[in-house]
Chain A
Amino acid sequence: MSSPSTQFATSRRMGIYEPVHQISMWAEPFKADCSPNTGTSTIIEVDTKMDKSEDTSQGTIGSSKKYDQEANKPPDKVLRRLAQNREAARKSRLRKKAYVQQLESSRLKLTQLEQELERLRQQGVYIGGSFDTSHLGLSGTVNTGTDAFEMEYGHWVEEQSRQVNELRTALQAHVTDIDLRLLVDSGMNHYYDLFRMKATAAKADVFYLISGMWRTSAERFFLWIGGFRPSELLKVLTPQLDPLTEQQVVDVYNLQQSSQQAEDALSQGLLKLQQTLSETLASDTVVAGSYMSQMTTAMGKLEALVSFVNQADHLRQQTLLQMSRILTTRQAARGLLALGDYFQRLRALSSLWAARPCEPA
């Protein structure tokens, strides 16, 4: 997620003397998402901004002149800024302290659990799962399925940005329809790739996928079964596809309606799943039977969640396909560009939001 050199650079600036493994964890304001797109880099940007604002006020003049220059500014502003910095630094130190304490107690607990596990193993108790009972450092990754997905998704986003830029250039340069067709096809295939990736990730950890934690915060706001609602995206796209023929207008409207209906059906199904799961877990074990059988039933119900994610992605794919049938090549190119831009802006918004200055408490 972040290169070691980046971590140390931040450490130096913030005056920390030991490497912090997961910066995005202890920096509270930024803990919202650990996605590769906004996590650590956001913090670096904020630091840079703080440094830069001091640099620009002096230019290349030596330090002795610094106070002269700053004395020319209204002194209360300077004083206030210094006070805010002190406050921020104090808070930072407190947060760090809390984090370290949390780490130490977790480490203690982990050692205790490992010892317990070892003891039970020796007694011949079967323990499922893939626990490494040798002394784990904090670097042990327990869930490689989601890590792999996050990395792959990071690459996917980069590739998408590249494709979006290519589309933009091509449309402005008025290339032939044949060339545009190639770009449109790779754009569509790129989305299909994403759905394939998601299907694999759903099998590994469906809750993770459904949580949208692999997406930026603003994207998560629109989350519906692990992604965007196709009908909503159509509403975003359509105004940017003008001019459309009358038949196209009707077709796109119908597609929007159909998608809405399908989304509603899926949402209803999901509600039913929630209800049945809730009922399964709420039933009294004394009356209904053993705790284990209750859990087994509940586990069976949860399997359905994977199907829901797959169906939702199938719907997204089908909607995309139908749009490509309705639109001309040029319109499809504009549509893909608009879609890519929309996602990029949502991601940028998430970064901006995460980096906004926090009010002192």
Chain B
Amino acid sequence: MQQAIPYRNWLRVTAAADGPIGRTPPAVHAETSSVSGKSVKGMVSENAVIVFGKRGCCMSHVMKRLLLGLGVNPAVCEVDEADEVRVIDELSTVGGGKDHGRPQFPAVFIGGKLFGGLDRLMGAHISGDLIPVLKQAGALWL
């Protein structure tokens, strides 16, 4: 059931992820991007899987590693403290599975919809529900 991560994808993600900390690039990287001035909802709809987290947050790192381990290439968006409230407001308007109030960081969106936090991701992974959802969103191919 383990998917080997295509070399090409792996290389791309690590290059983006190991970028210098604290620098806010004006252009949007393929994988890791920051939020300033960019439409958050746009990012959600453009990417099969996208993780939103506070800058430097270790939990969003856990989310990313878990998804990478499954062979998924998640987009990651790091949010500065200043933008937090605005981003969460925007994300609240996106539809989601277990919708109860405002999404909390870190949050993962799959197929344009809010999937949930790390709890939900882990739970779905263990119960075996995650892979079908990822496939349906086009994030995984068998």
Contact = CB atoms under 8 A, between A and B. Distances in A.
Interface of A: 254-255, 257-259, 261-262, 264-266, 268-270, 272-273, 276, 304, 307-308, 311, 314-315, 318-319, 321-322, 325
Interface in B114-142: 118-119, 122-123, 125-128
B29 interface: no
B67 to A, nearest CB: 9
Contact of B122 (A264, A268, A270, A314): A314
Which of B118, B126, B127 neighbours the largest number of chain A CB atoms within 10 Å of its CB? B126
Interface in B11-27: none
Interface string B95-118: 000000000000000000000001
Contacts of A273: 58
Nearest to B119: A314
A315 to B, nearest CB: 6
B127 A254 contact: no
A265 B65 contact: yes
A262 B124 CA distance: 11
Nearest to A323: B126
A262 to B, nearest CB: 6
B42 to A, nearest CB: 28
A280 B65 CA distance: 23
Given A268-B65, A276-B58, A311-B62, A262 B125 contact: yes
A304 B59 contact: yes
A265 B66 contact: yes
A157 B59 CA distance: 32
B66 A261 contact: yes
Contacts of A325: 127
A contacts with B: majority SS: helix
Contacts of A270: 58
A309 to B, nearest CB: 12
B18 to A, nearest CB: 12
B88 interface: no
A259 B58 contact: no
Contacts of B127: 318, 321-322, 325
B122 A269 contact: no
B142 to A, nearest CB: 15
B1 A262 contact: no
A238 B2 CA distance: 21
B87 interface: no
A5 B101 CA distance: 56
B1 A254 contact: yes
Contact of B65 (A257, A269, A276, A321): A269
Given A258-B128, A265-B63, A311-B62, 19 more contacts: A257-B1, A257-B2, A258-B125, A262-B66, A264-B65, A265-B65, A266-B62, A268-B61, A268-B62, A269-B61, A269-B65, A311-B119, A311-B122, A315-B126, A318-B123, A318-B126, A321-B126, A321-B127, A325-B127
Contacts of A264: 65, 69
B122 A261 contact: no
Contact of B56 (A258, A262, A276, A315): A276
Report, nearest first, the 5 A-B pairs whose CB atoms are least far apart.
Answer: A269-B62, A265-B66, A265-B65, A318-B126, A273-B58
Nearest to B69: A261
B14 to A, nearest CB: 13
B58 A319 contact: no
Contact of B126 (A266, A276, A322): A322
Contact of A269 (B2, B58, B69): B58
A319 B1 CA distance: 18
A262 B59 contact: no
B69 to A, nearest CB: 5
Contacts of A321: 126-127
B70 interface: yes
A17 B126 CA distance: 58
A318 B122 contact: yes
A283 to B, nearest CB: 12
A176 B122 CA distance: 34
Contacts of B123: 314, 318
24 contacts: A257-B1, A257-B2, A261-B66, A261-B69, A261-B125, A262-B66, A262-B125, A262-B126, A264-B69, A265-B62, A265-B63, A265-B66, A265-B69, A269-B61, A272-B58, A307-B59, A308-B58, A311-B118, A314-B119, A314-B122, A314-B123, A315-B122, A315-B126, A318-B122
